[in-house]
Amino acid sequence: MPAGDPGTGWPGGFIQSIEIRRHDQGPGRATYWARATQPLLDSETVSPLARAATLFDLSNGMAVRADPKEVAFPNLDLTAHLFGVPEGEWLGVDTSVSFGRQGSGLTSTVLHDARGPIGTLGQALTVRP
């Protein structure tokens, strides 16, 4: 996958600290690999699960369904269901974002490491023009 600029459309220091290899599949659909370029804690060893969890909240913003300058779609929650411990620095993410008619939406994600799927994420969204 080609390298991407995660900061395109998103301000802030956190997003600039992530390296992304992204394949955009159209509005609301993307697959990508991500890894943090900065340590979570400078003086501590961080578990693979903690390292991966720092990247979970990216999924909604990496598979945008609408221009974030025109529509706000923050997640109200994030639920992770893991059936494997991630291995390695890179987290694979396969995400779909759907908007409903009444100002709500849902982000659905399958998480991977290099060996295959390790879990899912769900995020409820509020959608506001």
Asked if the model's pLDDT at residue 100 lies above 80, the reply is yes
pTM score, whole prediction: 0.86
Q: Please state the rounded mean pLDDT for residues 23-50.
A: 89
Give the model's pLDDT for residue 17: 79
Secondary-structure class of domain 3-126 per CATH: mainly beta
Contacts of 102 (CB under 8 A, 6+ apart): none
CA atoms within 13 A on the CB side of 10: 21
φ, ψ for residue 48, nearest 5 deg: -60, -35
Distance between CA atoms of 78 and 55, rounded to whole angstroms? 12
Give the model's pLDDT for residue 129: 87
Short-list 72, 128, 78, 75, CA closest to 102: 128
